[in-house]
């Protein structure tokens, strides 16, 4: 049975599936490791742009048939139609002028999207990841991808989040990852204490590609 909720923006009732995952539709590129560089702002923005392009142009990654429901990844020998865009260019080049990013120290999601709107982003092949901030190399930006717009949505409800993901694609969510749950995470659902009653520091960006239900527990 689909989930129904009233969408105040459209003025109508929206039906959403109980479970949805853009990986099942082959619109999400391989999860990547930022290693010791604190540049989640670059990785998450690039990931959402890659998926948005895949959805808009009906491109796909090709996944192995042997994959289980909870094990989605791209093997190195799998082919893909999806763009693989450069996180390193954003690390190197989006820290000057009106852009407030600071390499491997910290960055801002809005500034990063704005940078891609203004300057474009090269492919990973042309500007590969180096795990450190280097001098911006404009010559590597010959073939670049732009975006037309982005949207910042403050404090959406759970159903609004699901609606946006379902209709538009993966989104970025800011989280607090100070707890040991993240440090020692291996698999499964992370169940962190409910901190809604107090303000918490948002210190990490993540990409939400869908939602699900496991033995009565809802998860992103």
Q: What is the pLDDT of residue 54?
A: 95
> Quick one: DSSP state of residue 30?
P
d(CA 181, CA 195): 14
CA proximity to 26, closest of 66, 62, 70, 53: 62
CA proximity to 21, closest of 181, 137, 169: 169
As a dihedral over the C-alpha atoms of residue 87, residue 92, residue 93, residue 95, rounded to 10 degrees, the angle is: 110
Q: What is the pLDDT of residue 11?
A: 52
> Hey, what CATH topology would domain 3-219 get?
Cathepsin B; Chain A (3.90.70)
Contact between 63 and 78 (Cβ < 8 Å): yes
- What is the C-alpha end-to-end distance of the chain, expressed in Å? 19
d(CA 23, CA 199): 32
The 10s digit of each residue's pLDDT in 80-111 is 678 899 999 999 999 999 999 999 999 999 99
Q: What is the pLDDT of residue 70?
A: 41
Residues of the chain falling short of pLDDT 50: 1, 64-79
The 10s digit of each residue's pLDDT in 134-148 is 999 977 766 789 999
Q: Where are the domains of the chain?
A: 3-219
Q: What is the pLDDT of residue 185?
A: 85
Q: What angle do CA 92, 97, 103 make, to 5 degrees?
A: 25
Contact between 127 and 86 (Cβ < 8 Å): yes
């Amino acid at each position: 049975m689909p989930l129904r909720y009233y969408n105040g923006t459209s003025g109508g009732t929206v039906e959403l599936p109980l479970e949805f995952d853009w990986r099942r539709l082959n619109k999400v590129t391989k999860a990547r490791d930022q290693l010791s560089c604190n540049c989640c702002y670059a990785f998450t923005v690039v990931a959402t742009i890659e998926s948005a392009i895949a959805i808009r142009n009906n491109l796909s990654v090709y996944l192995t048939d042997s994959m289980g429901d909870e094990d989605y990844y791209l093997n190195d020998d799998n082919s893909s139609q999806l763009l693989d865009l450069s996180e390193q260019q954003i690390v190197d080049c989006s820290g000057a002028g009106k852009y407030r990013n600071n390499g491997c120290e910290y960055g801002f999601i809005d500034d990063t999207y704005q940078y891609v709107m203004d300057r474009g982003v090269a492919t990973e092949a042309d500007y590969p990841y180096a795990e450190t901030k280097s001098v911006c190399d404009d010559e590597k930006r010959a073939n670049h991808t732009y975006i037309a717009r982005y949207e910042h949505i403050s404090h959406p409800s759970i159903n609004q989040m699901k609606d946006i993901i379902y209709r538009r694609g993966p989104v970025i969510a800011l989280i607090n990852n100070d707890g040991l749950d993240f440090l020692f995470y291996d698999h499964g659902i992370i169940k962190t204490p409910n901190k809604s009653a107090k303000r918490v520091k948002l210190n990490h960006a993540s990409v939400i590609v869908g939602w699900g239900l496991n033995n009565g527990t809802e998860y992103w």
